[in-house]
Amino acid sequence: MEDLLKLKDKNIVVMGVANKRSLAWGVAKSLYQAGANVIFTYRKDRSYSKLQKLLEENSLEAKMIVQCDVNADESIQEAFKKIGEEVDCIHGVVHSIAFAHAEDLKGDFVETSRDGFAFAQDTSAYSLVAVAKASRPLMKEGGALIAMSYLGAERVVDGYNVMGVAKASLEASVRYLASDLGKDNIRVNAISAGAVRTLAAKGVPSFNEILSKIEETAPLRKNVTQEEVGDMTIAMMSHLSRGVTGEIVYVDSGYNIMG
């Protein structure tokens, strides 16, 4: 049987596993099933211990685990330098990182502080640019970068506020990066995932209403799972999507098409 994904033994960096509900963890599980070598980055020690526990519970082994704070250029450079010392080449990066201050998700968007706006952009959108720059020299055989987005990038989702604007910036960055990196055979795409109960989603005040609305109105009449997002992500990283770059792919039971 032919291996259609061609991800076996490929080195893929997964950034942003906070706990077992994280979309990044869903992607990692799918990558393991495809036979990839998974390299994780974490920001805080707390995330590191949770990640270790998850790997143990699922009898999985990380190729390596590296500390990386995406709000600091030196930390990003250092992380990819360490990765480059361990493996000769990487074939993909999953960027599943976004953050905004809680106070900027409460109340009206018009009340967003200057600092809060800049912080959300830096963490959620600029970090993809910085990661692309740092990982590019290691993608000697070409590769794929995948970012995680959400419908709030293009529609107003109650309570998503400054994160929606940061995700819009992320999606535009995906297109510009795709244009820049295409000549190196590096593809850049985003997955716009439907609402999944993650740590990040907890911060959105109207989250439960969003979930029930999707069940009522999405064409598939259901919310998506972490596994569905994980599987589509690896499809977009794999040989199957070698002709696709600069796209935002919706994994949301079709909710985004409804008027």
Catalytic center residues: 150, 160
Compute the CA torsion angle 22, 26, 71, 164 (nearest 10 deg).
Answer: -70
Residue 76 near residue 134 (C-beta atoms within 8 A) = yes
* CB contact at 8 A, 144 and 235: no
Could you tell me the CA-to-CA distances from 3 to 9, 51, 146, 237 in Å, in that order? Answer: 12, 29, 21, 14
Q: Is 11 exposed, middle or buried (0-12, 13-18, 19+ CB in 10 A)?
A: buried
What gap in Å lies between CA 1 and CA 74, rounded to an integer?
44
Handedness of CA 73, 74, 79, 84 (dihedral sign): positive
Q: Which two tokens mark 142?
A: 């070409």
Gap between the terminal Cα atoms of the chain: 43
